[in-house]
Structure 1
Amino acid sequence: MRTYLLWLLPLILLGSSAQALQCHECSAEGNCYRPTSCNDMTRYCLTSWYTPPGQPMNVIKTCGYTCPDVNQNQTYTKSSCCNTDLCNSTMSLHASWGLLTLSIWYIYLSQ
């Protein structure tokens, strides 16, 4: 059983690196969720919040080639970027590879 787990982990890690980054791509008042596979050149998931005075907050989530600089944020607009699958969500929807690795290692050692 332990041998199978040790062979399974590298296959999972290698297989995941060949896939395109997944980000939420949507625009709505408040938060929105719509997972999308980005093209191969995408390096970041972007989230922008636009809150004009007296208006509800608009959220735009998209795939991006570059990450906006903190200095690019303006009075009513804030932006952030991240570079893991579906990271532009308010909830973490993906498993941490480090946690997965530690879990498999713990199972291996406890048997």
Structure 2
Amino acid sequence: MRTRWLWLLPLLLLAWPAQALRCHQCSATHDCLQPTACQANTHYCLTTWNSPPGQRTNIIKACAYTCPGFQESLAYSRASCCNTDLCNSAPHARVSWGLLALSLWCVCLSR
């Protein structure tokens, strides 16, 4: 009897409905932390930065079916994709050379 229940568990797990990807969505320069459940066949959370010369940077966050490639980017626009829940919440991180140098210095001192 116990082995019958062990066979039932994998079947129940396979039948469990998959959860849709959740991404932040906005099309403004502020308040871009609005979680939204994407459609079932959506695979990416997309963040784009549009920076025309002399204008404010406009950030757009949305669910996406595909991730745009290098050929699809425009002169004043960048895009970033990720594929886990709410992964497009953090702002785009830039390398801080000073922080990197400080970290290396601390590693050298600790030896």
TM-score, length-scaled by structure 2: 0.63
Q: Confirm whether residue 61 of structure 1 aligns to residue 61 of structure 2.
A: yes
Rg comparison, structure with higher value: 2
What 5-or-longer segments of structure 2 have no aligned partner?
1-13, 92-111
Task: Using the aligned pairs only, state the percent identity.
Answer: 56
Structure 2 counterpart of 1:9: none
Aligned length: 77
> Using the alignment, how far apart are the partners of 2:23 and 2:17 within structure 1?
15
TM-score, normalised with respect to structure 1: 0.63
Give secondary structure in 2 for the equivalent of 1:59. Answer: strand
Q: How far apart, in 2, do the equivalents of 1:65 and 1:30 lie?
A: 24
Give the ranges of 4+ consecutive aligned residues of structure 1 lying more than 3 Å apart after TM superposition.
none
Q: Which amino acid aligns with 1:64?
A: A
In 1, the alpha carbon distance for the partners of 2:59 and 2:17 equals 29
RMSD: 2.1
In structure 1, runs of 5+ residues without a counterpart are 1-13, 92-111
Determine the structure 2 residue equivalent to 1:75: 75
Whether the 8 Å contact between 1:30 and 1:57 is mirrored in structure 2 is: no
Partner of 1:89: 89
